[in-house]
Amino acid sequence: MDVVATDVGFYGGLRCIGERFEIADEKDLGSWMEKVGESKPKQEKAKPGQKPAAKPEEKPEDNLPDA
């Protein structure tokens, strides 16, 4: 199965982000890989001390914690 590394990982050797390679079976598919041709929308991670971005269907003030 043809996959691409979405993060650094190890499969038969160290793999770098964006590296395309073959895995023996779908059960070997790691969380840091995705099948070629099946891209998922990327979620941005909040930086420490920063609140997460509002979802498109929310107004920014909707995701604030209750005071």
DSSP structure string for 20-59: EEE-S-GGG--TTEEETT-PPPPPPPPPTT-PPPPPTTS-
Q: In the prediction, which pLDDT does 49 show?
A: 73
Of 4-8, 37-41, 42-46, 58-62, give the range with the top mean pLDDT: 4-8
Q: Which of 3-12, 15-24, 54-63 has the lowest mean pLDDT?
A: 54-63
pLDDT tens figures, 18-57: 999 999 999 999 999 999 987 666 666 656 776 666 666 6
